[in-house]
Amino acid sequence: MIRTYRTPLIILLITLLLAVGAYSARKVEIGDKDSGKMIDLKKGDLLDVVLRENPTTGYGWDVISKVEPCLKKHGGPDYKADNKMVGSGGRITFHYIASAKGKTQLKLAYKRSWEKFPPIKTYKVNVRIR
């Protein structure tokens, strides 16, 4: 009698595992060339924004738009130098996760934080989460 309950339970567990594993989050990486574009994501996808930066000049990228609740930060920005030479540039990566359906615009400004001048560069992408 115990065996009659086992088979449906095993089938149910396998079905649930397949349903959960059917969609795995994509990792989408965008960069300088994607400014001005529309980026389509699904809820749960990871978005990495990788931009050229040279912090030795005092310039850095700042996020200047509110992107929540559609996107949430997924860890801090990571900087990786191109090489070990003093004064060389590199790439900074901002990590986000698509957390809610909707549309948002991600805007960043390349500027010196202590200066009141307009940024020397801006970066903007429209993000649609389905």
CA 33 to chain CA centroid, nearest Å? 16
| Integer Cα distance of 34 and 2 in angstroms | 59
- pLDDT the model gives residue 87: 86
Task: Report all structural domains of the chain as residue ranges with CATH numbers, in order of start.
Answer: 25-129 (2.60.40.2020)
CA distance 77 to 72: 13
Q: Are strands 46-53 and 90-98 parallel, antiparallel or unpaired?
A: antiparallel
* Predicted local distance difference test score (pLDDT) of residue 17: 53
- DSSP code string of 29-69: EEEGGGTT-EEEE-TT-EEEEEEEE-GGGTEEEEE-S--TT
Low-confidence residues of the chain: pLDDT under 50: 1
Q: Per-residue pLDDT tens for 56-67?
A: 999 999 999 999
Rounded distance between C-alpha atoms, residue 80 and residue 94, angstroms: 12
pLDDT value at position 116?
A: 94
Distance between CA 62 and CA 43 in Å, rounded? Answer: 25
Token match 């030479």: residue? 85
pLDDT value at residue 89? 93
